[in-house]
Amino acid sequence: MKAVLFDLDGVLVDTAKYHYQAWKTIAAALDFELTSEQNEHLKGVSRVDSLHKIVRWAGKDIDPQQFEQFLHEKNENYLELIEEVRPKDALPGVLSFLEALQKNQIPIGLGSASKNARPILDRLGITSFFDAIIDGNDVTNSKPNPEVFLKGAKALSVEPTNCLVFEDSQAGIDAARAANMAAIAVGSSEVLKGAIHYISDFNRHPYKELAAFIE
Ligand code: BG6
Ligand code: MG
């Protein structure tokens, strides 16, 4: 392996809980209670595709104007929630893992579905670690489509097969595999399928252990 591509939400920072919270409010407006099992299917999925799923689960039919309004409300709510994000909110071990990658001259990329990725990296104070940032503003196809990771590999000038992806969502692991990349899951093998290795966080699995998959 010669490069690492990180997903953002749920891998570098626990913003997955804020997406869930914001979607729950929209679901409630559709008289629908969004469960954590259903939320698993929203992880890694773009804002638009997530709302399509929620509307379908709610069994509702809404007009395009209402759809746009819900997208806007969800994002406003989410932006309020992420105002609180600070460097201390990087998930355990993330900072030292990034430092170790940099020290070992491993190219680092971001492959996120989120259109809010850059401000979140800035709030965490880790933007400068990234040699390439591909986010929801750069792609037309949502994970599990491989576009975001293929663009990441290209931006890092690395072959897809030489990239290792860190992901917390099934859509993201499927996207990595579709891009011919190996994925390490941040989460459990009971929920996430198809990764080559599973970690709970970067603290419990220090660079030395993960280096075997990278160098
Ligand atoms: C992904 C999240 O990283 O980004 C999804 O896992 C989210 O839950 C998607 O829907 C899009 O995010 P945003 O910030 O553009 O609404
Ligand atoms: Mg994620």
- The torsion of the CA quartet 140, 14, 195, 134, rounded to 10 degrees, works out to 30
* Interval between CA 215 and ligand 2 midpoint (Å): 24
- Give residue-wise pLDDT tens across range 149-194: 999 999 999 999 999 999 999 999 999 999 999 999 999 999 999 9
* Interval between CA 73 and ligand 2 midpoint (Å): 21
Percent of the chain's residues with pLDDT above 90: 93
Number of domains in the chain: 2
CATH number for the domain harbouring residue 57: 1.10.150.240
Domain closes at, from 65, 84, 103:
84
- Look at residue 142 and tell me whether its pLDDT is greater than 80: yes
Nearest partner of 57 among 20, 31, 18, judged by Cα: 31
Statement to judge: residues 101 and 200 lie in one domain: yes
- For residue 165, the model assigns a pLDDT of 98
Statement to judge: residues 128 and 199 lie in one domain: yes
- For residue 46, the model assigns a pLDDT of 95
Q: Domain span at residue 35?
A: 16-84
Mean pLDDT within 111-129: 98
- For residue 1, the model assigns a pLDDT of 60
- Look at residue 208 and tell me whether its pLDDT is greater than 90: no
Statement to judge: residues 116 and 79 lie in one domain: no
> What residue's CA is closest to ligand 1, atom 1?
44
Q: What distance in Å separates the CA atoms of residue 11 and residue 187, rounded to the nearest whole number?
A: 9
Q: What DSSP line would sit under 35-81, residue for residue?
A: -HHHHHTTTT--HHHHHHHHHHHHT----HHHHHHHHHHHHHHHHHH
Statement to judge: residues 166 and 186 lie in one domain: yes
Statement to judge: residues 98 and 67 lie in one domain: no
Give alpha helix (H) positions in 46-189: 47-58, 64-82, 94-103, 117-124, 147-155, 170-178
Statement to judge: residues 99 and 68 lie in one domain: no
Closest atom, ligand 1, to C-alpha of 113 = 4
Statement to judge: residues 27 and 128 lie in one domain: no
- Give residue-wise pLDDT tens across range 19-63: 999 999 999 999 999 999 999 999 999 999 999 999 999 999 999
Statement to judge: residues 157 and 191 lie in one domain: yes
